[in-house]
Amino acid sequence: MKEDFFQRVYEIVKQIPEGRVTSYGAIAKAIGAGRSARIVGYAMNASHYLEDVPAHRVVNRNGVLTGKHHFEGTNLMQQLLENEGIEVVNNQIVDFKKHYWEPEIK
């Protein structure tokens, strides 16, 4: 049963609890791809077609909202995160380690 790589990514992202965030690399690792962090971002881009994928909870390794430009406004992603209790300053998540959520490795 080979599901699309994207599908795997979506499964992980959907499991992210509210008020938590994770990194592309971590997701890739959880899936087993390991070095396919970029593909995760690619999947997020495609996730725009879906509404079940909280892409705003996924950031890069530094906790920076690199993909905010892909959302409608320039601050929508930040707003969503702040709405969940995550502090974001200058596209950077405050205390990233604190809010970091490690995906379950399947």
Partner DNA sequence: TATGTGACATCAA
Partner DNA sequence: CTTGATGCCACAT
Cα 12 to Cα 30: distance, rounded to the nearest angstrom: 8
Nearer to DNA, 66 or 75 (CB): 66
Contact between 41 and DNA (CB under 7 A)? yes
Contact between 71 and DNA (CB under 7 A)? yes
Contact between 97 and DNA (CB under 7 A)? no
Name the site residues for DNA (rule: CB under 7 A). Answer: 4-6, 23-25, 33, 35-42, 44-48, 55-56, 58, 60-62, 66-67, 70-71, 77
